[in-house]
Amino acid sequence: MRARPCFSEEPSASAAARLVVRQAGLVIKACWPAPERNKQAILEVLARALPASGTLLEVASGTGQHAAYFARHLPGLTYLPTDIDAENLASIAEWVREARLPNLLAPRALDVTWPDWHIGSVDAIFNANLLHIAPWECAIALFAGVRRHITAAGVVVLYGPYRIAGAHTAPSNASFDASLRERDPRFGVRDLEAVAELAEGAGLRLTERVQMPANNQTLVFARGV
C-alpha cells in the first residue's frame, strides 16, 4: 500500500504559493523551521551512534535540510537522501546541488512500502518524522526494508515523538496525536515498545533512547549489543 505523501506541520510556503510555483515550473528549495531547530541536536546523536564510514540511507528526507547538514558534518559517510514525494525530491536536489559535498548523493525516489528499495546494502538508516504521519503499515514496511538492506553491523536511528509505557511524554504530544488522528485515523504518535518490537523482528535491539528538545526522542537500534 502506498502512503499519501505528507507535509510538515510547518511548511515554509502556503499550499497556494507552492501551487503557483509548481505551475510556473520553478523548483522550490523548501526550508522548514522544524529541521532548522532540531538538526544540531540530532547530529550530536548521529555523530556518536553511526559508523564512521559507509553508506547512510535517509528515508523520507523531506526538504533536504537534514541531508545537507548531516552530510557536511559526517564527512566519512556517503549520504543518500530519499523521499516518496516529487516536490520534496526537487527540493532535496536543490539542497544537494548547493551543498557541493562529495559525500552527498543525488536524491532518489523511495517509498518504504516498495518490496525492493533498489539501494543494495547500507551501513546505516536514518529517518525523522515518518512513523506518526503515515499508516502503521509504513512502520512495518520500514523495518522490512531495514531487514533487507542493512549490513550485519548496521545501525538504525529514528527521530520523532513516541508514547512510552502507554503514555504521551507531554500534553503537547497528546494534542498533536489527536490532530494527526483527526487528519487521518491511520496516523498517530507511535508506541516506542511497538516500534522496538518491529526492530527486533529485523534483528535489531533498541540500544539508546535520547530525550530531545520539543518532547521528541531519538532511538538508536543496533544488532547484538
Strand partners, 124: 56, 155
* Residue 177 is a binding residue for ligand SAM (CB under 6 A): no
Return d(Cα 28, Cα 13) in angstroms, integer: 9
* Residue 3 is a binding residue for ligand SAM (CB under 6 A): yes
Radius of gyration of the chain (CA): 17
Neighbours of 55 (CB within 10 A): 21
Return d(Cα 100, Cα 137) in angstroms, integer: 36
66 vs 163, which CB is nearer to ligand SAM? 66
* Residue 5 is a binding residue for ligand SAM (CB under 6 A): yes
CA angle 114, 120, 124 (to 5 degrees): 90
Distances (CA, A) of 104 to 22, 24, 36, 101, 121: 25, 28, 18, 5, 17
Q: Which of 83, 143, 163, 219 binds ligand SAM (CB under 6 A)?
A: 83
State which of positions 126-165 bind ligand SAM (CB under 6 A).
128-130, 133-134, 138
6 vs 124, which CB is nearer to ligand SAM? 6
Least Å distance, CB 48 to ligand SAM, is: 20
DSSP state of 102: T
Pairing between β-strand 122-128 and β-strand 150-160 as defined by DSSP bridges: parallel
Q: Which of 39, 56, 79, 88 binds ligand SAM (CB under 6 A)?
A: 88
* Residue 90 is a binding residue for ligand SAM (CB under 6 A): no
* Residue 122 is a binding residue for ligand SAM (CB under 6 A): no
Residues engaged in binding ligand SAM (CB under 6 A): 3, 5-6, 8, 32, 34-35, 59-62, 83-85, 88, 110-113, 128-130, 133-134, 138
